Structure 1
């Protein structure tokens, strides 16, 4: 029995150490990005609430601060880590696909009404429209933005559990929309994510450019 508890204690310490390393890595990465912004004079990017740096900060906040609280509630309801991962990954993917559809609509609009403008101007106006959409979504209600029903984004779980999941899915959907409208689009690196000894280590460490 004593050996069992020692093993569990060592596992808990290992997980805590790993989280501390991740948090330090996040701080170091953000510090480096801020330093680059200062060096290049990219003050507009620093003041932009949906800049790449801010998106990374929001993702890290979701992963390191919000997710631990949510997963404890899911564990108490006997939800598996696999189901939780599927839900989160699907939510990010659905948001990315929706932004892909909206960007296509913007491109089609400019194709139909770009007579008299140079290709460079068309590109600039198109990108500005996407940026305006991104800013509008940033200020929108996360609850309203997620239009998908609980049944589709929550699986065969109780209505009470869906209420617990709603803040998580809303946050993931909202953030994924903002990331997908970045130039270049961003997404969590699901492909190369390797969970540690904790099966609830669901969120990839990094986000990377994606083809949108």
Structure 2
């Protein structure tokens, strides 16, 4: 799925929509899709103008979800896991200039043991990577949380996707289900000069190359 998101999908779009400038793209995700968005962005900063996430899994090598998935997909060598961990990847990036936007609900039941946003925050500080981590009181992992702040994420990407020559650009969205997709479609009206919003399942996109 990684190759599909990074290589195959842009080619399909370029081949079928000649007005689309696939060199101007951004990426977003929620939960495990947030993990996928962050890791794909950090491995391909030349391909994406910006990244944002809701409640992402940012340090999977140190959480039960990630340890279970990585041991099954990648085997026992934890050095291999680091290539799919945003907190590990950001430590290797010293040229990130575009702010990373993350929204995290403080009442999220997965926050303490699974999501670990403070680990990512500390890693960003260590390398001087700009991060806007917004801890939102009273919100959990639900779609109401996403619906409340999704316009901010659309606006975040819009400012980096604006094209001087008015070519169409696109925002790649890693979503978990049709409800998330519907919210993105409803909010996409806020995008300026971004005429294509691509939405796919996050299940495979967040997984390692073997998926």
TM-score by length of 2: 0.29
Q: Which has the higher strand share?
A: 2
Q: Which has the higher helix share?
A: 1
TM-score by length of 1: 0.29
Please identify the structure whose Cα radius of gyration is greater.
1
